[in-house]
Every structure is written in C-alpha cells, then in structure tokens.
Amino acid sequence: MRDATSVPLDVTHIQLSQNIEHLLLQINAHLTYDHFVSSVLEHELRTPLAGIVSTVQLLQAQLEAHEAELPDTLQKWCDRLEKLSTRMEFLLENMKQLHNNNYSSASAGKQTRKLTNWLINERKSLGELIKSSQILDLKLQMLDESFEYTTDYHLLSIILGTLVENASKYSPDNARMDILLEQSQEILRLKVIDNGVGLGANSSVHLIKAFQRGQEVEHIEGSGLGLSIAHAAAQRIQAQLVLYDNENAPGTTAELILSNNDICQKTLF
C-alpha cells in the first residue's frame, strides 16, 4: 500500500524535473541569443570603423599621388583618426575575447609559460600602442628568471596592452614609461609606471569603473572603457588591478597583482 504522501511527491518530482529542463532550455536560449547579439554588435561596430579607416587611407593615398603637401592641421587630424581607429579596433578585439572567455570554462585559455619570456616577447608589439615620441622600458626584478606561471596569457596580454595604451594616452610626448615585473615569495606584480598627469586629488585608487574618469584628464579623448576591460580581464584571471599616484614623482602606477601560484602551492602543501 502506497504512502499517502508518496503520490504528490512523485508528481512534484516529475514537475521539478520538467521545470529544471525547461529552465535549462531557457538559459541555453538566452546564452545563444546573447552570443548572437554580441557577434552582430561587433560586426555593426566594425562597419563604420572600416569606413573611417578606408577614408583616411584614401585621403592619404590621394595626397601622396598628387604630391600635395599636407597642411600640418590636416596631417594631425589624419593621424588622430588613424589612432582612434586603431584604438577602437583594439577595444573591439578585447571585448570579443572577454565575451568568448565568459562562455568557456575557467581553465580553457590557461597555459604554463616562462613569464619573463612572454613579457619580453610582448614588449615588441606594445610599441604600436604608444606615441612614436614616447619611450617604453622593460625592467625585470625576478627571484627566478625561468619562473613558469600558469594563467590565461591572452587575457594577460589584453590587460597589459590596455594599461600601456592608457599610460601613453595620459602622458606627454617624449615621456618615458616603464613596465616592471616584480616577483616576491608570494606575489607577482606587473606594473606600468608613467609620469603623466596622475590620478588627481579627487580620484580614488580604485578608479576602474566604466566611464569614470579622473578630473584632470577630462580634456583627453576616450571613455575610460579600456580600464574597465582591463579590470574585467583581471577578475577573470583572479588578479587584482589597482591604480595609484607615484610617490615623490609625477604620474601614475597601474599595478596588476597576481598570486604566485607555484610558490603558493609549495607553501600550502
């Protein structure tokens, strides 16, 4: 003889299964739709960007063909458009990468590499993100130069690129910037140090919030979205990103704090 309570329990169990199945289908549909919307958005943003880039190229080619001397102002505007386009494309790539990363498992993009080798190699491409008159130096303060670190290097690359680009944007022409990698027993610090305008007295150390800007940099183009991307990417790799004014010198330091995973493991086990 069946327990009086077992019938409704069975029914509830079936209903619950059906509800969960329905919920999973809905979640899947939402994720698929979200992915689709992002793809379309990226494509739609790339279209006007392509128009700008091609127009600048056309203008430059026409002027060269006619050996016309470009007035300084016009040349400056062309250069600016070119830089803005490069920046937009860089942001689009980063947004896409972050989006793709959100849909993959936490370990999907992880690799184990020699951190110093990666950074030396990365330094070569960072020159494109700074003004031609600026200098970017790399300094290594490692306990072990052959230290191997496991992380998502693509995201790390996005963060470093964004910080360098940001430092360049807020620094004057001919300025010098440093990338410094420091290793201690438990912490790795990747710093981008500039001697630009600084964060300003009213800015918090945790400046990173979409579209939030330091008061002293409002005259410079850009939305601050780059730092938000860097912040989101840092969260994805379990790192912390902080910005602070340099002590006894003008400028800002952007510091990415990474856990020294190998050493942490040795300490714990």
Partner 1 sequence: MSKDTVLVVEDDQLLREVIEDLLHIHKIKVKTVGDSSEANDWLEEYIPGLIICDLFLPTVSGIQWLNSVSEGLVANKSSIILLSADHERTHEMLVGSPIQSLVKHQLKKPFKNDELVRLIRFFRPNS
Q: By three-state DSSP, how is residue 113 classified?
A: strand
Asked if 170 and 195 touch (Cβ cutoff 8 Å), the reply is no
Measured distance CA(124)–CA(126) in Å, rounded: 6
Measured distance CA(46)–CA(201) in Å, rounded: 37
CB of 31 to partner 1, least distance (A): 15
CB of 39 to partner 1, least distance (A): 6
Angle at which helices 72-102 and 225-236 cross, to 10°: 30
Q: Which of 12, 18, 39, 104 binds partner 1 (CB under 8 A)?
A: 39
CB of 56 to partner 1, least distance (A): 9
Q: Which of 14, 20, 40, 106 binds partner 1 (CB under 8 A)?
A: 40
CB of 24 to partner 1, least distance (A): 23
The verdict on 47 binding partner 1 (CB under 8 A) reads yes
The verdict on 53 binding partner 1 (CB under 8 A) reads yes
Q: Which of 49, 84, 180, 257 binds partner 1 (CB under 8 A)?
A: 49
Neighbours of 183 (CB within 10 A): 21
Residues 79-98 that bind partner 1 (CB under 8 A): 85, 89, 96
The verdict on 104 binding partner 1 (CB under 8 A) reads no
Residues 6 or more apart whose Cβ sits within 8 Å of residue 94:
158, 161, 162, 226, 229, 233
Q: Give the max Cα distance, the chain.
A: 100
Q: Which residues pair with residue 111 across a beta bridge? A: 151
For partner 1, the binding residues (CB under 8 A) are: 39-40, 42-44, 46-55, 57-58, 61-62, 85, 89, 96
